[in-house]
Structure formats: C-alpha cells, structure tokens
Structure 1
C-alpha cells in the first residue's frame, strides 16, 4: 500500500472503498490530523503506537493541502466521523461484524447504539460503555472494560475517548481482546452519531474549515489545539519541504527494530 510521509508519519494513501474492503482482514485504524501530528512530535508512546497501527489514514483536508505542497498528494480524506458510518453501512449485512462502542459521556453511546441499529436494520452495535475520567490509569477499571468487551462477543471495537488516550489504550490491551479483529479510533464520532454534537456543514469540511467550525463550537476546549499548534506545524512542514526536518523519535524506531532483531536471533539459537 502506497504511503505518504508527513513529518514523522507515513500515511496510507488509500481510498475509502479500498480501506473498507481491506478491513475484512482486521487491524487498527488511526486517523492522523494536525493535532495528532503535533502530539507525535512530543509523545514517544503515541509515536510507537502509530508505527504499529495497520492503517493510518488522513483525517484532515489541511493535511491533503500540505501533501500537495510537498509534492506527494493524498488522494482522499478519511476522517473517523466519515469512516465509522461508512463502515457500519458497508458491513450491515455481514452478521460476523458486531461492534462495541467505548466512549462518550453517560448515556450518549447508548443513544448512538439505538440510532445506528435503527439505520442498519439489525443490532450491529451489540454493547456500549462510557468509561469514567482517568479510566486508563485504573487497572481494575480497565479489566472491567476488557471483560465487558469480551463477553459481548463483539468483533469490532470503536473507541472514542480522545487522542492519544484511545490509541495508546488499544495498543496496550488489544492482545487481551480475544474476539476483536478490527479496532477503530474514532474520537468524537460517538457524539456525532448520538446527535448531541453537530458536525460542521459539508461545504466547510470539503474546503478544510471543519477546524474553524469546531473551534467556534467549543472554544475553551479546542483553542489551544487549533491556534497554538498552527504556526509550529507550518514551520515543521516548511522544514520538510526544505529537507531539514528530522524525526525526533528516529532512535525510538531504531531501538524498536534492534529489539525485534535481537529477539529473532535469540529464537534461532534455541
């Protein structure tokens, strides 16, 4: 699969239709946007998760513009809020696809479940849970969530608890989710599906102004994400264009590869 490098992320240059078909084989989907790319400059754990994700798809029209500026255009924007409804529509007649929704405030995921199941015509969302704040640091709470997901017989986990929390949680616990084959990190999408937060008008999304709509809707929560990171992001992109950008975690990647090679050598000696 062709990939496009934006800073220290290799984004899969894939169409929505191809991604949906490829997900039959399972995997973790992450959706990089400007906020993610800036977090990936500061957070080595988040970076490590991104390296291991099977699919990294473009969640931003801004990143599409940037890819054209860098001479390696991305063909399609696939945001989590577009991917998730496309996913459950694509697999609505596949009885093996059973989705667990993890995220949003109390009661919101349940509303999303009812809305989606009504649209699909079957109980494709088999269960939901709204975790408490700080759940990712509570071992007992995490085990409770794992038990709930495993007992639900879900084969898909759609998690919307914000980045990088959702991606790191999946990477840490996916080996304990024995029936889950597909992992979708979908951010605020559960709220959109429940209807308690409105998505921006389609025309704003298509021209790259979704960030402005969301900023105007939640200025206190989002101003730092959209304003404070804008100039540093543009600076790094110009550095990449001039071939001056350096991945701050290149040693992390090399060490990860060296550990894998060491383990393989040890296995051969056994």
Structure 2
C-alpha cells in the first residue's frame, strides 16, 4: 500500500484485496490495528475539528471510502487505485474472521438494529463467532462498555456510531479494548439490518451514494451534503489552482 496525504489527512491508496491482506496479517500477528475510512464529509470536518483530525491521524490504516475523495486525489496527481467502501470491507473482514475463528464484537445502533445486524452477519457467515454486541447509546458509562468488550475476548471490534463520536471513542479507549483490530463502520449496521437501503451499484460507481441517502432522508441529509460537498469542491478547486501555479 502507498500512503498519500490530502488536505492534511494521511490516506492509504490501496485496493480492497490489499487492505484485507494487510489487516489480516496484523491480526494474525496480534498487532493492534486502528482503522478508519475517510469520505468527503469527514475530510471536510477534519479541517475545523482538531480532535477528529487527531483521531484519524492516529490510525494505522486509513482507507478512502467515497468516490469524491478518489476523484479529488486523482485530480491532484495521486495514484488511487479504487475506493475501499467501509460496508464492503466490513463484510470481507467478517468472512476472514469466520474462516479463522476470530470472535467479533458489534457496537452501535439501537438495541434492535444491532441485534438484527448480528443475526444477519451470522446468516451470511455461518461460522462467525459473535462474541457480543451492544447498542450505541452508552455515553453515561463508557467504561462499562469498554470492560464488556474486553471481557468478551473479541479479536475484532466494529463500531457503528456517527462521526466524530466513533473515531474519538476508539482513539480514547484503544489501549483498554483488548482487541487486535477496531474499525468504525458508521451506518453499516442499519444497512445490514435492513433499516436503510444501500444505493444501487451504478450510483456507487458514479459517486452518487450521497444523493441516494438524501432521497431516503431528505429533511435530515440535504443540508449536510450540500454543505460538505460545496466546501470540498472549494477546497479541491483551490488545491488544483495551487498545483497549476506551482
């Protein structure tokens, strides 16, 4: 994998297969690995959120999830082979864990969503060992949840909580979790549990997943995507002009 930097954020320009292989090697060696994916929204918010930026930069591997970031990096001259979508990487790593007997822990979503997500994961990967799961509304007693994760003896932890909460939670407690690998997966449990539909493949390839989410939840999403997409376009335009002048 080749590491690049875009708007102050380190990123690993990798294929899905390269990311899975690299992560698998570290888990087998019991090397703790903190993982994150970055998309347009996260990259934009990192510019003004120092704590989020610190949590992302602390990660051992930073995959690019979002065609906007892929295209932006390529426009600025970086060789980015493909997008590594968090939901797809999650499924690949579940398959990896199932074949090797690695227990996993699912953290996030509502109680019913994480329960359905756990059952759906087992349905997809029959030999998968779900060491435990917990909803994502635990901020009055974080330490108890951390202790439960550690007591479960899970090797992989997936955290489905909104940004920047999940990144900061992982970075804050990484030395206490007792796992070999931890990854923030955002709204993945909602997709796996069937609560939210994923965009069709053609929209994913065209970088229009954000539009599909707006179509599903217009009142909640339109301001968010309008703001972050506009700011990213401005950042990208300035960076491109700077390279031309340079």
Offset at 1:125?
2.0
Q: Structure 1 stretch 150-159 or stretch 215-224: which is displaced more?
A: 215-224
Offset at 1:203?
1.1
- 1: CA distance, partners of 2:128 / 2:204: 30
* 2:217 aligned with 1:212: no
- 1: CA distance, partners of 2:195 / 2:235: 36
- 2: CA distance, partners of 1:6 / 1:219: 30
The residue that corresponds to 1:149 in the other structure is 149
Offset at 1:4?
2.5
Q: How does 1:39-54 map to 2 (within 5 A)?
A: 39-54=45-60
The residue that corresponds to 1:238 in the other structure is 237
- 2: CA distance, partners of 1:55 / 1:222: 28
* 2:111 aligned with 1:72: no
Offset from partner CA, 1:98-140 (integer Å, 9 cap, x none): 11000011211111111111221124222110032xx33x3xx
Q: How does 1:104-253 map to 2 (within 5 A)?
A: 104-132=109-137, 135-136=138-139, 138=140, 141-178=141-178, 180-243=179-242
Where does structure 2 lack aligned partners over 5 or more consecutive residues? 27-31
* 2:92 aligned with 1:86: yes
Q: Structure 1 stretch 22-31 or stretch 208-217: which is displaced more?
A: 22-31
Offset from partner CA, 1:206-235 (integer Å, 9 cap, x none): 111111001111122222221012222111
Offset at 1:42?
0.8
Contact 2:108 2:135 in 1 (8 A): yes
* 2:105 aligned with 1:100: yes
**TM-score, scaled to structure 1:** 0.84
Larger radius of gyration: 1
Contact 1:70 1:241 in 2 (8 A): yes
The residue that corresponds to 2:29 in the other structure is none
Q: Which runs of 4+ in 1 moved over 6 A?
A: none
Q: Secondary structure at the match of 1:93?
A: helix
Offset at 1:80?
1.2
Where does structure 1 lack aligned partners over 5 or more consecutive residues? 245-270
Q: CA RMSD in A?
A: 1.4
Q: Secondary structure at the match of 1:53?
A: coil
**TM-score, scaled to structure 2:** 0.92
Q: Secondary structure at the match of 1:92?
A: helix
Offset at 1:21?
1.4
- 1: CA distance, partners of 2:2 / 2:148: 37
Contact 1:88 1:124 in 2 (8 A): no
